[in-house]
Amino acid sequence: MGTKSLCLLLASVLVAYYVYTPIPENIEERWKLMLINAGFRTVAHVAEFAEWLGLMHYMEVLMMITSIEYTAPISDENVTVTDTKFNNVPARLYIPRKQSSGLKRAVIYIHGGGWCVGGSAMEPYDLLSRWTANKLNAVVISVEYRLAPMYHFPVQFEDVYTLVKFFLQNSVLAQYGVDPNRICISGDSAGGNLAAAVAQQLLDDLEVKVKLKIQALLYPALQTLDLDLPSYKDNENKPILPKSLMVRFWSEYFTTDVSLQEAMASNRHVAAESSHLFRFVNWSNLLPEKFKKDHVYASPIYGSSRLGKKYPGFLDPRAAPLLVDDTKLLGLPVTYVLTCQHDVLRDDGIMYVSRLREVGIEVIHDHIEDAIHGALMFITSPTDLALGHRVANKYIEWLNINL
């Protein structure tokens, strides 16, 4: 074998080794997903290297994906699209052109991205909002909240809450021809977290007279206490959202102090004085048997109280909606929760389903056995997957029936 052939062979082996990631057998388009995941891993490695050199923050590099995916607010034959503000909070507004004799439905959508990346103008979110507005003949408001690490909790929550509260005024709803009895709040991943937290907070706000009809939470992140759930263990190195990245997202939401990230990575970030909160996320009681598999529940290993005192946000229900008492769940609207089998956040959503049902809230749980986290991000070329379209269709179909 010649030198050139040998070099080509070695290069091919190295590329194959880098690209290859074990993908569950029940996932379709496995090789395409491998290539997409290799792209994500490459960006992550560049981010780590840039941060190590002191050139850029890790999340600034990841934001490059958001920038590349940016799409302008261009109207089409079905939907009028504009970038606007509601009470000084930016949002992308989608108004269907279809004539209607009555008032329209409305969907407030909150994008994902670990509170650090993402945006309403990303092509997948823009397309999803267009589909929703057109198929439901609904007004869609896609919220553009501020991001970490420049802004930490509770800024993200407050941005969303400010917009939602403003929009729910009867005068504003009338301006856009929206039926006050047919409004949904929805979001994916970190956006699902914010949607759930806002829905809870609205229940205690006496100034808000209009009630949400439904909430839709798509593979949401809902708790900060136990980052060693069965789903975290089963999917520690699965595509798109490995445990290490989710831990980084959680810690960056509250601070750039790496000591919180390190404590969360070892699941020793909660002090003994907060032990009473673990009953809200005790997976041995809240997960159906098929999701427990061979995992055995172990009592928490407590950490220093310093982190909880310095960064109390990670114990705040506005950041972790599963941490509220059952009485705070009463009065929530009909809820749709979509979870993915191959996702570290799977058990967060499932535990919320269990707790809501226990207090009598009507819940529709759509669990997708062959899905990964972030499925909705894969509905545009060249990274479109059949899975992404299937998840989007399930979500929009449920909205159309129930809103």
- The residues that are catalytic are 189, 343, 373
The Cα–Cα gap between 44 and 244 comes to 11
Collapsing DSSP states into helix, strand and coil, what is residue 350?
helix
Instruction: Identify which of 182, 163, 212, 184 has the alpha carbon closest to the alpha carbon of residue 100.
Output: 182
How do strand 334-342 and strand 214-218 relate by DSSP bridges? parallel
Of 161, 149, 194, nearest in space to 320 by CA: 194
Question: DSSP for 264-321?
Answer: HHTT--SBGGGGGGGGGG-HHHHS-HHHHTT--------B-HHHHHH-GGGG-TTT-G
| Residue 60 tokens, joined | 């600034």
Cα(first)–Cα(last) distance of the chain, in Å?
Answer: 66
User: Which of 398, 335, 343, 394 is CA-nearest to residue 370?
Assistant: 343
Looking from the CA of 71 toward its CB, the CA atoms found within 13 Å total 17
Contact 240, 374 (CB under 8 A): yes
